[in-house]
Chains A and B, each alone.
Chain A
Amino acid sequence: MIRSEVLKSIVPVLDGRLVVCNIGLPSQELHLLHDQPSTFYMLGTMGLASSIGLGLALAQPDKVVAIDGDGSVLTNLATLATIANNVCDNFVLLIIDNGSYGSTGDQPTYAGRKTSLAAVATACGCAHVIECDAAETADVLRHALESDRMTVIVCKCESGNIPVPVIEIPPVVIRDRFMAAVKSRAAS
């Protein structure tokens, strides 16, 4: 399975959830597969999906899924230490690890070589770290969301991309409709 297939498989789990999605192809693919106001698409700023997701989870009680990539986590590796030390049980970090920088032409990352992001997360102090095969991702993610405990999932999949259009929604609209979705949960 490649990343777009993993994303397709988790769409039913993400439906209606607060989602922060990584820059580039992951956001474009998710936008194509299942656009919803409660998904925050990153149009720039590589590496910060997990940080935005953690900040969001710390600021309000609803569950948050941050979808990150191996290359992006490697640019902000210390995020795993921040996550470990600021436990919030409404936060799930899903790292889709295809061992490559997908959005820039599938150049290999170190995560596809010697470096285990699951081991790094564990060493940082994250208590619940699960490495899974691509096909298991939907079940693992669903279980993590039901478990009421902060979880880091590293989904190992193949590299490869599908052609997808860029996201044309203006950033302020993405942010505004996302915040409205957050607010409507707080009200209900």
Chain B
Amino acid sequence: MAFRVLVGVKRVIDYAVKVRVKPDKSGVVTDGVKHSMNPFCEIALEEAVRLKEKSLASEVIAVSCGPQQCQEVIRTALAIGADRGIHVEVPANDELGPLQVSKVFAALVKKEDVGLVLLGKQAIDDDCNQTGQMIAGLLDWSQGTFVSEMTVEGETLKVVREVDGGLETVRLKLPSVITADLRLNEPRYATLPNIMKAKKKRLDVLKIKDLGVELSPRFQVLSIDEPPQREAGVTVESTADLVKKLKEIGKI
């Protein structure tokens, strides 16, 4: 039985950009900086599109929460193969953390009659690694996180998870929440003809209040600092000097 898939796609600073901390330490510089889809979201989206190609999924919906610019990422998702998009509009200055996003997704799951939620395992800007798990908790659904392999078998999913000790294989009863790890697949690029076609695909814009979600933040960022500057090394002339220096700095 083909199910509807909800894919989360987050707009983040591009992974190749050198991130700079704002002078007032309240955050990082985002103005004029290249943004793109979170790499793990790309992997999740690729998996969803492949499910659709195998006729295991009936529809792929790409969802993004945030300010107006999120629609660029949704359009990319449509170009890669999502059928339609939902932009949950949140003003740029409002705090949006995993708890709020997972409440949004839980509401959308009910609204859209979704059978599978696919997300990246974490976003490369905050590295929270919480949204998928929270969605499963809110919905009381099974979850498979850090997934590197996924197979649909009837009403269940067999997934291989990358864990510290190695690879863990679990069977989940659908409906489920899956978070994608790096080795799940190699995502395709959006091609020009598909970018053109994506302009005509449906993109709905919703307000977060419409989904009954409150935005009151649960935590406050106190400060953001750059990592300490790497100090210049010291050249020594001989092994004896090296040993002497190491003793001086208390390393041996």
A and B physically associate: no
